[in-house]
Chain A
Amino acid sequence: MLKYIFKRILIFIPTLIVISLLTFVISINAPGDPVETMLNQNVGGEGRSGEKLASEKTYNEKRKELGFDLPLFYFSFTNKTYPDTLYKIPKKAHRETLQRLSYEYGIWKNVSTYYQALRALEFKVFEIMPSDENSSKLRNIKDNLNSLYLTHNENEIKQIIETVEFDIFKDSNIKKTVETDFFELKNSFEHLIYNKKIINRYIPTIHIYGFNNQYHNWISNFIVGEFGISYQDKRPVSSKIFDALKWSMILSILSIIIAYIVAVPLGVKSAVDKGKTSEKIITTGLFLLYSLPNFWIATMLIQYLGDGDGLGWFPTHGLGELPKSAPYWDRFFETAYHFILPLFCLTYASFAFISRQMRGGMLNVLEMDYIRTARAKGLKKQVVIWKHAFRNSLIPIITLFANIFPAAISGSFIIEVIFSIPGMGQLTLQAIFQRDYPIVFTVLMFSSILTLVGILIADIMYAFVDPRISFSNKKS
């Protein structure tokens, strides 16, 4: 048995690696620049060159602190146009443009020269003291240069460069300072577009970056329990998630327990009473319950039983607001009262599902010969059902646990959102809308791990219930 559990946990590892890779790929493709979100500011744009330098410095420091200045992965497998030193460019938006430019024209070195020229020109422009007559022109130039960082379309770039040229040459003061740098930019761009090497796109290349990369750091921090810092309130993700996980786990586990307690007797009863009118009503009712979307039921319950415009029987928002100083039992009952509706919404679908399965399993067993034998030798009906049939029909129900557990986790997601319970669901949804990705990806990893654990528990329980299954002796 122990050996089997150990083997199962070994299988977890590749699964978790795949999930972590998936999570990582999603995270690096997430829109927005995490460093900028952290700093809550847009670097560049207005201000003098000194301020710009200072803000770029804070940006770079933050970037280094968060570990975003490292290569993404252990290696990269791309085409030859892919810049191997791209990760050294600080800003995410700039990196995307440069990568695209490099793809379009095929030679990273030229793109790099163009980028350096652009930066040099921008610094020169920022050094000019704005005065009354040139301030609007300066702002135009700055805006245009900024948009150059984000454009990869050849015609657009040409147009922007022309506009900048027009602005620069109208003012002799500006012209004097930035002329050489401007021509450098223009030449470097022309050099870029006239030396196209599209064949590079089709040459596969591998770069090796070693262990000091973003994925490696992220996953090794994850393993030791450091999940990063929330972009929004700068609290550690772990403390936020554990606060939320508490409520989600209470909800899910309570719902699973209640579902089993209600569903098993109901399933047995409907199997034993097969053919009676009462059984038909129960079966149809269960089928309908199973198909009812729980977010619909939740909305309806809030509307008709909730404390807004409904009958006012149940609270529909949060978990109650008694202060921590209130007596424990008062707080307990307040929370329990708030739990009734969400718990109901979370439970009915799974209990309908379980009792339908229970009914099916029971019907199968009741047809067996040994049940007829037991009845024939004069055992009471109740004894036969509970002692002979019930235990054997439990097996499929227990394997269902592997399905029910993940379903309960994701089910509680919606229910928490609707009833404003501060669990994982609400946390994740808020994080998504606020683009707080460290939370989103930690939640994704965590729910995968919980799902894996659920499957493992189901497997172990399976072995306990059915002595015919023995994992330790089986060789496979």
Chain B
Amino acid sequence: MNLFNLFNRRKNREANTLILQNNNESYWKIVRQQFKKNKIAVYSLRVVFIFIFIALFADFIANEKPLVAKYNGNVYFPVMKEYAVDLGFSDWHDEFRNVSWRGLKYDWVVWPPVPYLPRNIDVSNTWVGPFDDQNVESTRWKHWLGTDDLGHDVLAGMIHGTRIALLVGLVSMGIAAIIGIFFGAVAGYYGDEKLKMSIISILLYVIGFILAVFYAFGTRSYALADAIGSSFGSFMWEFLLSILLFIAIIYIFKLIASLAKKLPFKVKEISIPIDILISRLIEIVVSIPQLFLIISIAAVVAKPSIFIVMVIIGLTTWTGIARFTRAELLRIRNLEFIEAANALGYKEWRIIVKHALPNALSPVLIAIAFGIASAILIESTLSFIGVGVPAETITWGSMLSKARAVSSAWWLAIIPGFAIFITVTIYNLIGEGLTDAMNPKLKK
């Protein structure tokens, strides 16, 4: 056993020296090789790909409309057409407006594998289980995973719920990654003494920041609020405008500050303890009880939306990513290649973004993998208790909560719960696999 350990340790040392050579390509190659050795993690990744496939093609797998149909001598593609209509490129023919798609007399028709949408109500089949006798025309219309109290098809809900589960992980961790990497990088790279500014610049930046907040978000608050009310897309657009305005104002003040540097007299430069400030901010965010905060915010939002939940999760979970990034950058900033870049006179932002950050990404990836798992868990918890997620949105959590009403509905208890469990598990497994692959030293 000891011999094996010794051998292992030598291998690890080799791997470590390889990493330190800072050859990105070979580093990621090692990571990939190490990751591939972990069979379970590889299979988990494949399951994620299957989920992504289901989420992308949910409309084609489970839909009330036919995929292809010949009706009155013309061939139609109603599912495809729906995308065009939703995007505003096209409009439904009069004969298809407000029709029950199942009731039409087609010449021939190809239905999706699951001929239901999650919101379709089947009055003659409420609370039927997968093995119960169902009141359907043929096996084609069978509810393979049963229905709930209103006759919603569980399988269709599961398929479309995949979309929400994956989206929650993606959006919330995307937000968390942007905030976390930014704060972590600034805190880690500059530390407490590296960021030096003259008092005039500091003042200008503070004023610039306040004005940027004022113009980008203060005066635009009604535009933003109205956009939330209308649709998510328009909100994102308005929000993007605000962000651009914010950056523009900060940039103007940056220009003024650089002009102020050229003043004839010398202003004393002081170092800003940016690391302490950001660490304190992280400490504050960490000590806010996340679930209670999300529940309180979700409770007071006038119009509940799954996207608000995602944003709040993102805004409260960036601390882990920030901590990892900070720790990595504290290490990296003292390495030779950063010194070299400094000596070459590169701008500091360029050094951080192009040289330091790519080498600090591995722990961030791990944190993101685990973060996605916990984000999915939080979202399903919220929809389970029915807070923050609109009642008409069908998610895995909201389906599971229906099992509480009727305890004989075992399929509603087992199937959505199992889906949540599997999703959380595979993300955790991927996180484990990444940890092993990126820190061969820790691999035991």
Given the contacts A432-B295, A443-B292, A15 and B284 also touching, CB distance less than 8 Å: yes
What are 24 of the A-B contact pairs (CB < 8 Å)? A15-B287, A19-B287, A26-B300, A30-B299, A290-B428, A291-B425, A291-B428, A295-B384, A299-B404, A300-B413, A302-B404, A303-B403, A303-B410, A306-B407, A410-B291, A413-B291, A432-B299, A440-B296, A441-B296, A443-B292, A444-B293, A447-B289, A451-B287, A451-B288
B404 touches A418 (CB 8 A): yes
In the complex, A147 Cα to B215 Cα: how many Å? 31
Within 8 A of B (CB), among A391-417: 406, 409-410, 413-414, 417
In the complex, A331 Cα to B75 Cα: how many Å? 72
The yes or no answer to A225 lying at the interface (CB within 8 A) is no
Consensus secondary structure, chain A interface: helix
Q: Chain A's nearest CB lies how many Å from the CB of B98?
A: 29
The yes or no answer to A47 lying at the interface (CB within 8 A) is no
A451 touches B300 (CB 8 A): no
Q: Chain A's nearest CB lies how many Å from the CB of B121?
A: 24
Closest to A104 in B: B222
A295 touches B381 (CB 8 A): yes
Given the contacts A26-B296, A413-B292, A202 and B287 also touching, CB distance less than 8 Å: no
| CB-defined contacts of B290 to chain A, threshold 8 Å | 410
In the complex, A285 Cα to B184 Cα: how many Å? 35
B424 touches A429 (CB 8 A): no
A296 touches B373 (CB 8 A): no
The yes or no answer to B350 lying at the interface (CB within 8 A) is no
**Tally of contact residues, B, Cβ under 8 A:** 49
In the complex, A19 Cα to B289 Cα: how many Å? 10
A414 touches B381 (CB 8 A): yes
The yes or no answer to B417 lying at the interface (CB within 8 A) is yes
The 6 closest A-B pairs by CB, nearest first: A296-B417, A410-B291, A291-B425, A30-B300, A432-B299, A447-B289
In the complex, A299 Cα to B404 Cα: how many Å? 7
Closest to A295 in B: B384
In the complex, A300 Cα to B288 Cα: how many Å? 31
Given the contacts A288-B425, A432-B387, A444 and B407 also touching, CB distance less than 8 Å: no
| CB-defined contacts of B425 to chain A, threshold 8 Å | 287-288, 291
Closest to A19 in B: B288
A452 touches B428 (CB 8 A): no
B285-307 near A? 1/0 per residue, CB < 8 Å: 01111111101110110100000
> A30-B299, A444-B292 given. 13 additional CB < 8 A pairs?
A15-B284, A31-B302, A78-B218, A79-B218, A202-B219, A295-B385, A299-B413, A302-B404, A303-B403, A428-B292, A443-B292, A448-B287, A451-B288
B292 touches A410 (CB 8 A): yes
Chain A residues within CB distance 8 Å of chain B: 11, 14-15, 18-19, 22-23, 26-27, 29-31, 77-79, 100, 103, 201-202, 204, 274, 287-288, 290-293, 295-296, 299-300, 302-303, 306, 308-310, 363, 367, 406, 409-410, 413-414, 417-418, 428-429, 432, 437, 440-441, 443-444, 447-448, 450-452, 455
A22 touches B417 (CB 8 A): no
| CB-defined contacts of B292 to chain A, threshold 8 Å | 410, 413, 428, 443-444, 447-448
| CB-defined contacts of A26 to chain B, threshold 8 Å | 296-297, 300
Consensus secondary structure, chain B interface: helix
Closest to A402 in B: B286
Given the contacts A202-B215, A293-B424, A363-B444, A452 and B287 also touching, CB distance less than 8 Å: yes
The yes or no answer to B283 lying at the interface (CB within 8 A) is yes
| CB-defined contacts of B373 to chain A, threshold 8 Å | 291
Closest to B211 in A: A204
A300 touches B414 (CB 8 A): yes
B377 touches A293 (CB 8 A): yes
Given the contacts A14-B280, A15-B284, A429-B385, A440 and B424 also touching, CB distance less than 8 Å: no
| CB-defined contacts of B295 to chain A, threshold 8 Å | 413, 428-429, 432
| CB-defined contacts of B302 to chain A, threshold 8 Å | 31
Within 8 A of A (CB), among B18-66: none
| CB-defined contacts of A418 to chain B, threshold 8 Å | 404
Q: Chain B's nearest CB lies how many Å from the CB of A157?
A: 16
Closest to B300 in A: A30
In the complex, A308 Cα to B289 Cα: how many Å? 34
| CB-defined contacts of A303 to chain B, threshold 8 Å | 403, 407, 410, 413
B420-431 near A? 1/0 per residue, CB < 8 Å: 110011001100
| CB-defined contacts of A455 to chain B, threshold 8 Å | 286-287
A103 touches B222 (CB 8 A): yes
Option from B417, B428, B444 in Cβ contact (under 8 Å) with A300: B417
In the complex, A274 Cα to B377 Cα: how many Å? 31
In the complex, A290 Cα to B286 Cα: how many Å? 21
| CB-defined contacts of A406 to chain B, threshold 8 Å | 289
B378-393 near A? 1/0 per residue, CB < 8 Å: 0011001101000000
In the complex, A100 Cα to B229 Cα: how many Å? 15
The yes or no answer to B5 lying at the interface (CB within 8 A) is yes
Option from B214, B288, B289 in Cβ contact (under 8 Å) with A409: B289
Closest to B214 in A: A204
